[in-house]
Amino acid sequence: MTFKEIEDLFVEVTKIIFGDTFNPDNLWLTYSIDGQPGSTPTEDNIYIRLFEKDDAYARQIDSIYEEENGTIIKKSARTRVWLVQYTAYGPNAHSNINRIKDGVFRQDIKRILAGSSVFLIPDLPLARRAPELFAGQWWERWDLFLSFNELYRLPDEDVGRIEEVTVGIYKSERE
């Protein structure tokens, strides 16, 4: 998946978790360029940010070689580990973070993620309260970081073939 596709996947999943109980116009992929939420402290907003996570699983490539149409094709895959940061603002920030935290365990959400080869690492950290002071006013804020593994397939590679092998046997002079 491209980065944009994986971002869109997490937006879709978040919308499904909330259903019609959260305004999708208040769901954002990043912070506004002004450095402040695009709302007031009394509005609920959720921001999603994705980061590739440094992890031992992400450092290995697995490859298999298959014969196709008279040549050898190398098929490779690796795991990309994603750290997904949810930041919720507003009077219902804590409740919204908990709905996300619980929602990623729902079977419908697991099926959607699995359909894109994305799987939750079920080691859930605690949500963190981090109120923000902006323009002399406190904004209620809660953060949650979730980790996911993605099976990432590299493009197939034609590695060629060996047309002919000559094997020779020779006698050593020492014998």
Is 167 within a domain?
A: no
Residue 111 has pLDDT above 80, yes or no: yes
Residue 144 has pLDDT above 90, yes or no: yes
Q: What is the pLDDT of residue 139?
A: 87
- DSSP at 29: S
Q: What is the pLDDT of residue 98?
A: 96
Q: What is the pLDDT of residue 38?
A: 62
Residue 129 has pLDDT above 80, yes or no: yes
Backbone angles phi, psi at 166, to 5 degrees: -105, 125
Task: Provide the mean pLDDT of the chain.
Answer: 90
Q: Which residue shows structure tokens 């999708």?
A: 24
Is 172 within a domain?
A: no
Is 173 within a domain?
A: no
Q: Taking the model in full, what pTM does it have?
A: 0.82
By residue range, what is the domain housing residue 91? 3-160
Share of the chain above pLDDT 70, in %: 95
Report the CATH number at residue 89: 3.30.70
Is 8 within a domain?
A: yes
18 or 169, which is more confident? 18
Is 174 within a domain?
A: no
In which element (H, E) is residue 98 found?
helix 93-103
Phi-psi region of 160 (alpha: psi -120 to 50; beta: other; left: phi over 0): left
Q: Quick one: how many helices (H) and strands (E) in the chain?
A: 3, 10
Q: For residue 35, which amino acid is it? A: G
Cα dist from 50 to 24, 62, 70, 87, 165, whole Å: 18, 24, 42, 12, 50
Residue 57 has pLDDT above 90, yes or no: no
Is 46 within a domain?
A: yes
Q: What is the pLDDT of residue 161?
A: 79
18: its two tokens: 């909330």
Q: What is the pLDDT of residues 3-45, one digit of tens each?
A: 999 999 999 999 999 999 998 888 888 766 665 556 777 889 9
Q: Count how many domains the chain has.
A: 1
